[in-house]
Amino acid sequence: MAIATKDSLGPTSDVLREATARAHERAERSAFVTELMDGRLDADAYVALAGQLLFVYRALESAGDRLASHPVAAAVLDERLRRTPSLESDLVALGVDPSELSMLPATADYVAAIEASAHDAARFVAHHYTRYLGDLSGGQIIASKLRNLYGVSEDALSFYRFDGIDKLKRYKDCYRDRLDALELGDEATDALTAEAIRAFEFNQELFAALER
């Protein structure tokens, strides 16, 4: 039986994008996201999402801090991406005390998977990629909807502003180049792609929980 080589799999960023394309479509088409994008929800729905995302980013960023000296994680880690402080300040601007929030079961499952990834850098990168590249892409579209459809003010949208990153497209290209330069091997690449698909599913499960 032929054994897949890194070359046969192609660049990691292409493998990841292709492997998650269907999961992305499902997340993008989920009822919560569609209704949010169509102006059929209200600002409170976003407040609920932002509150749950705070737990996700706390877990993601503390896993990142623990993996900071790991070369695979270090390839994607960047202080300019850190979102916990901006999410906290957005929530305060939205009238929420972050210390009063509690996690939904769907968020707890997502957080548990992120915490487990702190022991496996390839899996951690999957969670990093799914959230931050999403924030730098569709997140920008979500921010404009929040602004224009729901009247969310700029001081509550700092989560979507990446100070110090000028051109988001160039940054994403560079992120993909850094992924492609990693010498992961097939096993780690498989673990990375499987975990990225799971990460999308966790997001979808969170949307479904918020919809309920």
Contact pick of 133, 143, 184, 188 for ligand HEM (by CB under 6 A): 133
Q: How far is the CB of 171 from ligand HEM (least distance, A)?
A: 10
CB 104 within 8 A of CB 206: yes
Instruction: Dump the DSSP string for 20-55.
Output: HHHHHHHHHTSHHHHHHHTT-S-HHHHHHHHHHHHH
In angstroms, the CA 22 to CA 25 distance is 5
DSSP 164: T
Q: Is 50 in the site for ligand HEM (CB under 6 A)?
A: no
Q: Which stretch binds ligand HEM (CB under 6 A): 23-31, 76-84, 119-127, 181-189?
A: 23-31
Query: Closest by alpha carbon to 81, among 7, 145, 168?
Result: 168
Here the tokens at position 210 are: 């918020």
Footprint (CB under 6 A) of ligand HEM, residues 157-186: 169, 172
Contact pick of 15, 19, 32, 33 for ligand HEM (by CB under 6 A): 33
Q: Which is nearer to ligand HEM, 121 or 196 (CB)?
A: 196
CB 76 within 8 A of CB 129: yes
Q: Which is nearer to ligand HEM, 16 or 75 (CB)?
A: 16
Q: Which is nearer to ligand HEM, 92 or 161 (CB)?
A: 161
Q: Which stretch binds ligand HEM (CB under 6 A): 38-46, 75-83, 102-110, 123-131?
A: 123-131
CB 134 within 8 A of CB 127: no
Q: How far is the CB of 72 from ligand HEM (least distance, A)?
A: 17
Q: Is 201 in the site for ligand HEM (CB under 6 A)?
A: no
Cα dist from 72 to 142, 176, 179, 185, whole Å: 30, 13, 9, 12
Note the residues at the interface with ligand HEM (CB under 6 A).
13, 16-17, 24, 27-28, 33, 37, 129-131, 133-134, 137-138, 141-142, 169, 172, 200, 203
